[in-house]
Chain A
Amino acid sequence: MSTAVGVEERAQARSRRFGRPDQLPIAARRLLAAALIVGGLVLPFFFDAGGGFIDDATLALAYVVMALGLNIIVGFAGLLDLGYVAFFAIGAYTIGWFGSFFFSGITENGIHVLVTGIAAEAPGIHLNFLIIVVIAVLFCTIAGMAIGLPTLRLRGDYIAIVTLAFGEIIGRIAINGDQIALGFLGGEQTLTAGRQGITPVDKVDLPLLAPFTSLELRPWYWLAFALVLLVLFVNLRLRDSRLGRAWIALREDEVAAASMGVPLVKTKLMAYGTGAAFGGISGAFLGSYLNTVNADQFQFSFSIFLLAMIILGGLGSIWGVVLGAIALSFINNRLIPDVLNDVPSALGLDFDLTQLSFGIFGFLLLIMMVLRPEGLIPERRRQMELRDESIETDEAVYEARMS
């Protein structure tokens, strides 16, 4: 009885000490969310419209979308996916195919659906961005489930190996796709443009808004921000649902989950499919934003980069993943190339710090694992689990000394 009461008291003490957002009263939580949204929306007005900060922030938001997708697969369902870059690739190629000159060889006048400006006149296939996003989601969901199938009977490390291979296969196809002739489409049409890249790619063109340009970056930022909000909403809703509970049950104990009525195959495929869909959304956005779909973007290291974001932030923790993705993205795109790049030369060393970026990420993860293995903002569950043991031991020692 006394231990039980102790547990509750400790839980309360913990929530006071950590002051976590999901333990605040509902009104305070809403206020915080509103403040964050408004803050995020007005942020670009404080920076130059074509400048580096908005560029970095937009990239960071696009990475948040992907990291939240990966978090569903790895963080919620516990399926270690090392090939997530494949969904970035598939999303990006969707816009490469359906929103550029790429297929100009096969359609003389081009195919145009709800596009304006140059895109409406140009040869090739040009679909509206929203249609492309829907197609990218479809493609990625199918691809996600396809990679899910061979891993259904596998666990842990073995899933990692299969997904890693899948990521590599998609990457190789992207690189060598310029040698793959699509004969049925006639002419010289290939699958991808390999390392040359498909460029230019249509700019995002949303209904009621002027087409986006590469000079004014704010609309891109706001679109990415809207995508993050959408994906956050989906994540939060899923986390506290029948499906979210089933994913976590699966992560904790597959045998028990199945015995409690959770269908393993369906539930796992849902995790793969949903997670992959977010990669597709972000991929399509980045294809347009970066104005190129280049096979060199889709390397294994990018999967690891995303994985590092969710581990740094806190595996399974939605807010942690958002923070981890923003942090690593800024370290990668701003801190290392712009701020710290002079450090080696100042020390009399002759190398480019960006070449060391993965070494730096590795070091960061190492420090995290030692100091705060549960991540920057831990998932509520893991925090209670990991923290409790230490508290218990401390108290046990304390009590022993007192008596």
Chain B
Amino acid sequence: MSADGTGPILAAEAITKQFGGLTAVNDVSFAIPRGAIVSLIGPNGAGKTTFFNILTGLYKPTLGRVRFEGKDITAVRPDKIMALGIARTFQNIRLFGTMTALENVMVGQHARMKAGLFGSILRPPRVRREEQRVRDKAAEALEYVGLRSALHEQLATNLSYGDQRRVEIARALASDPKLLLLDEPTAGMNPQESEDLTRFMERLRDELGLSILLIEHDMKVVMGVSEHVTVLDHGEKISEGDAQTVRTDPLVVEAYLGKQEAERQRQGGVV
């Protein structure tokens, strides 16, 4: 359970988050093995994104701890968590609209740069080299996610939806993360695009050695790619295991389809 490279890359222990009287996440424990693609699923309002925001430091959990490579990162600032090696994308794309695709990805490397106020003004060779390196790397990341180089200098707002998703992933990748959190990356994609993204996630794992946590609605994507699935409903973990186990778990079917429907399926034997 430490940085020796064998334990899980991230472990959330008994996380609870309350907003006033509302418990959004209740006593959820969760681990991401190194080099694995794992999924977090659940109906709308199940607390998936809240959980995500706790892992990335945007929220402080009411109770519980988060450990990343054995290090306690509970309630550490988001920028520091990013610097440690956790990068994310957002459910509703949050690019910096008036910056170009390339600049967006350069911001993603902020934590990997050193130039300060005076360095930025005086621009000594060290800063010039750093700037060039970051620019090259940003272009590389954009190529990697498949954004045509002609679009690198376009403002993010002017890109198509699919390209915006690409840029957002490139922005996260450019920081050399160890763990990538993707919040509903296939939202708004057609089946072919979802399929492409699934293959792309496998590439990320195999080529870059990334661990990936995926929040997803599209069951086909989840079942196709994840080694391990955790299901949240009303803030509680109701099931976990491999894709097949989860799919046939009556509690999960009930959470997604409602009690009656679940009952009917059980009797009728239809899955």
Contacts and interface: CB of A to CB of B under 8 A. Distances in A.
Physical interaction between A and B: yes
Interface of A: 3-4, 7-8, 11, 233-234, 237-238, 241-246, 248-249, 252-253, 255-264, 270, 274, 379, 381-382, 384-385, 388
Contacts of A4: 148, 150-151, 160, 163
Contacts of B83: 261
Contacts of B58: 255, 258-259
B95 interface: yes
A299 B122 CA distance: 35
B158 A259 contact: no
A249 B99 contact: yes
Given A4-B148, A246-B110, A252-B97, A260 B82 contact: yes
A148 to B, nearest CB: 14
B83 to A, nearest CB: 6
Contacts of B79: 258-264
Given A3-B160, A242-B120, A260 B98 contact: no
Contact of A246 (B87, B107, B157): B107
A257 B107 contact: yes
Contacts of A11: 154
Interface stretch (B3-11, B111-119, B217-225): B111-119
25 contacts: A4-B148, A234-B121, A238-B117, A241-B127, A242-B134, A245-B99, A245-B103, A245-B110, A246-B107, A249-B107, A252-B99, A255-B94, A259-B56, A259-B82, A259-B88, A259-B90, A260-B82, A260-B111, A260-B172, A261-B112, A381-B98, A382-B98, A384-B158, A385-B97, A385-B157
Given A248-B99, A261-B175, A242 B113 contact: yes
Nearest to B83: A261
Contact of A249 (B77, B88, B96): B96
B185 interface: no
A259 B131 CA distance: 21
A246 B112 CA distance: 13
B53 to A, nearest CB: 9
A7 B87 CA distance: 30
Contacts of B172: 260
B78 interface: yes
Interface of A is mostly: helix
- Please provide the 3 A-B residue pairs with the shortest distance between their CB atoms, ordered closest to farther: A261-B111, A241-B120, A381-B98
Interface string B51-78: 0000011100000000000000000011
Interface of B: 56-58, 77-80, 82-83, 87-88, 90, 94-99, 103, 106-113, 115-117, 120-123, 127, 130-131, 134, 148, 150-151, 154-155, 157-160, 163, 171-172, 175
Given A249-B107, A256-B95, A261-B175, A243 B120 contact: yes
B156 to A, nearest CB: 9
A256 B115 contact: no
Contact of B155 (A256, A263, A385): A385
Contacts of A381: 98-99, 155
B97 A270 contact: no
Contacts of B151: 4, 7-8
A390 to B, nearest CB: 13
Contacts of B159: 7
Contact of A252 (B90, B98, B158): B98
Nearest to B122: A237
Residue with the greatest number of chain A CB neighbours at <10 A, chosen from B121, B150, B151: B121
A242 B99 contact: no
Nearest to A392: B158
Contact of B123 (A237, A249, A255): A237
Contacts of A253: 94-97
Given A8-B154, A248-B96, 16 more contacts: A4-B150, A4-B151, A4-B160, A244-B120, A245-B110, A249-B96, A252-B97, A252-B98, A252-B99, A253-B94, A260-B79, A260-B87, A260-B110, A385-B98, A385-B155, A388-B157
Contacts of B78: 258-259
Given A234-B121, A245-B103, A7 B154 contact: yes
Contacts of A385: 97-98, 155, 157-158
B171 to A, nearest CB: 6
Contacts of B155: 381, 384-385, 388
A97 to B, nearest CB: 27
A274 B121 CA distance: 11
A3 B164 CA distance: 14
B162 to A, nearest CB: 10
